[in-house]
Amino acid sequence: MQTQAAAKIVSPRTSAGFEYTFPAIRGIQAGREFYVSMCPLRLIPRIFHLDEDELTPEMRAQRVLNKGRLPALTKYILDNPDDYVFSALTASVDGDMDFEGHATEGPGMRTGQLHIPMDARFLINDGQHRRAAIEQALKENPDLGDETIAVVFFHDAGLARSQQMFADLNRHAVRPARSIGVLYDHRDEEAKLARLLSLRSHVFKGYVEMEKSNLSARSRKMFTLSALYYGSQALLQGLDLKPDEATTLAQAYWETIDAAIPEWEMVRTRELSASEMRRDYIHSHGIALHALGRIGNSLFRESTSAAKWKKRLDPLKTVDWARSNGDWEGRAIVGGRVSKSHQNVTLTVNYLRHHLGLSLSPEEQRVEDAYLRGDA
């Protein structure tokens, strides 16, 4: 079977004009034929046009392209040319589709050539951001053009059907928990560091939830891997360290924090259950690890000398981390629930900076002033 699509003159048997010919597999869903093919990346921008931006939402069959997502998707392709992975595009074809099977009966009926006139209109039902990222990546690395992506073709049955396909394709899509994304990410050095800390450090070993990003009330874990990831990311942001140096420094930092928070040790010695600790205190929640990470980052920027930054952390031993401490309301807690918003992280950082005698950055001061005025 061919591995890429080709454009050719159509014989009089089909129609007059030019057509795309795709190697394809024929299938049936809900009583309708559909086809799966492999399409060269260089053809993707030519076949699938993005021309619906000016239409009103009710006249579109897709959401408007979010251009803010494209740089990361494009970078992903360009930075990982040997092991990037993209799932199939799904498209509706407003035009004739003529499938020629390799046989008239048996398994050969399912494989063959799919002929689509070049004047047919292709509408992406799922994958418009992948399509746009492919176009951008090809501009920087044209050699990607001969690689392929799977495309699922459906007959276009009108706007209502296309809108319903978009709704159905996204109805049950569930974004995986951030923790399992960190667990399985072998490219991201910060993900590797978080995994190492969860396995090596006595603070975290055996007490990190590796898959879920939220802990159930009865969980015996103290932290989530995603919270450890973001806390350590904030801790090491902008520091020029080799991976081993980063791991060693981060481990030393979190073990120093551990010494200032007796409840963590009480959970490990079973004097306190993890669920009780999480219920009554905020220091194992993601917002606290993130805030502590930012505090450590500012100390490391002054000096990575352990004697110096450890001494600056001594006042942490007197912080009241209890939920009952009214100082947390509006900072780390909103309406009785711990908040993970950027603003609340900053307000929590500010509280800790005041406690440690550290100055605020201009942005932190702006957020603090708004909070004190009651604008937050």
In this predicted model, what pLDDT tens digit does every residue of 28-70 receive, in sequence order?
998 999 999 999 999 999 888 765 555 455 545 566 778 888 9
| In contact, 268 and 205? CB cutoff 8 Å | no
C-alpha–C-alpha distance, residues 319 and 352, integer Å:
8
Residue ranges of the chain with per-residue pLDDT less than 70: 1-17, 50-63, 159, 170, 173, 376
Give the pLDDT score at 3. 38
Give dist(CA 11, CA 17) in Å, integer.
Answer: 8
| DSSP letters spanning 305-341 | -HHHHHHHTGGGGG---BTT-GGGBTTTEETTEE---
Question: Strand, coil or helix: what is 257?
Answer: helix
Task: Report the pLDDT value the prediction gives residue 40, as an integer from 0 to 100.
Answer: 94
pLDDT at 52 (0 to 100): 54
pLDDT digits (tens, 9 = 90+) for 144-202: 999 999 999 999 877 677 777 777 776 776 778 889 999 999 889 999 999 999 999 99
As a whole number of angstroms, the distance between CA 242 and CA 247 comes to 9
* Beta bridge pairs of residue 149: 39
Asked if 224 and 286 touch (Cβ cutoff 8 Å), the reply is yes
What b/e readout covers 273-293, taking b as 16+ CB neighbours within 10 angstroms?
ebbebbeebbbbbbbbbbbbb
What pLDDT does 61 receive?
57
Q: What is the pLDDT of residue 80?
A: 93
Q: What's the half-sphere exposure (Cβ side, CA atoms, 13 Å) at 207?
A: 25
Residue 108, pLDDT score: 87
pLDDT of res. 105: 86
- 151 and 25 in contact (C-beta within 8 Å)? no
pLDDT at 176: 82
At 14 the pLDDT is: 41
What pLDDT does 312 receive?
Answer: 95
